[in-house]
Structure 1
Amino acid sequence: MPKAALDSFDRKLLTIVQHDADLTAEALGERVGLSASAVLRRLKRLRAEGVIVASIALVDPARVGKPTSFIVALEIERERPELVARLRKWLAEEAQIQQVYYVTGSADFILIVTAPDVEAFDALMSRLMVDNPNVRRFTTNVALGVGKRSLFVPIPRDGT
């Protein structure tokens, strides 16, 4: 996918809306030096171009039952494209799997998983192994605490 052409206004907007997507167009315009209508046009274009892929609410886990976070390293048997594609689809469809990274190193995938408890996590991983025979094994780290939780993408000012 080609890199989007972003000017300094786009870059400022992207940085601001990553911190607070609820700001009004007027408030955003004041911060970046544009009219509200110009801000709305830019945000619409950034969404249409796939630069902004979603505007979401970040939920505090402690307020909704404090689920446990697990960092999982998956190893697969074969790197055949159709098998990897099937596994990726399965992982993407599981709500408890928050993030999936296809990586280099001893693991093939790193997953960030949230579950209400260890039993629910164990059930998910059992289904993973049954439904995906191409998964050789997995190792799990349980997060004891969270020092930072973010999906913020730093936007370079100069376009590099």
Structure 2
Amino acid sequence: MNLDRFDRQLLNLVQEDAGRTAEQLAEHVALSPSAIQRRLRRMREEGVIVRHTAIVDPQRIGRPTFFIVSLQVERERPELLTQLRKWLAAQEHVQQAFYVTGEADFVLVVSAPDTETYDALMGRLVAENPNVSKFVTNVALGVVKRGLSVPIPLLEEE
């Protein structure tokens, strides 16, 4: 899908706050609210906008612990990687999972209410995925920055 300057502006704005109305967005983009609604609908239909979510303040819901996990697998056979990816995607405490280069094969961001919940998750991971050979856990002591926004340049790069 070709994105023009208006689409790019809208994407940056809705990534900041998806709850803005078309009228509020029109204050920042030189388009009418109805034109903004049409563009946003088109970008949802085309799969550019995948979903809208709410960002919750962890401090206000009981301060969950964040774990950054480096995961290694024994064999990188496609069917085993597919099985592991599906397993990770189905786990509610796994917030993000990246297939990476380097010493680790996957890097996970896990949010759990306590270490016991995390330990149970990792026990299930190893028991249900025998291809997992090793994992290393880092516990986040604090959050410096957290987000999912993708910076979108306003001008199409040539």
Q: TM-score, normalised by structure 1?
A: 0.96
Instruction: Give the equivalent residue in structure 1 for 2:46.
Output: 49
Separation (CA, whole Å) in 2 of partners of 1:159 and 1:64: 40
Instruction: Give the equivalent residue in structure 2 for 1:122.
Output: 119
Q: TM-score, normalised by structure 2?
A: 0.98
Instruction: Give the equivalent residue in structure 1 for 2:9.
Output: 12
Tell me, which stretches of 5 or more residues in structure 2 are unaligned? none
- Alignment of 1:110 with 2:70, yes or no, is no
Query: Quick one: which amino acid aligns to residue 100 of structure 1?
Result: A
Separation (CA, whole Å) in 2 of partners of 1:65 and 1:158: 42
Instruction: Give the equivalent residue in structure 2 for 1:59.
Output: 56
Instruction: Give the equivalent residue in structure 2 for 1:30.
Output: 27
Tell me, which stretches of 5 or more residues in structure 1 are unaligned? none
State how many pairs are aligned: 157
Separation (CA, whole Å) in 2 of partners of 1:115 and 1:30: 39
- Alignment of 1:92 with 2:79, yes or no, is no
Runs of 4+ displaced beyond 2 Å: none
What RMSD, in angstroms, separates the aligned Cα atoms of the two structures?
0.6
- Alignment of 1:135 with 2:122, yes or no, is no
Separation (CA, whole Å) in 1 of partners of 2:62 and 2:92: 16
Per-residue Cα deviation, 1:40-79 (whole angstroms, up to 9, x for no partner):
0000011111111111100011111110000000000111
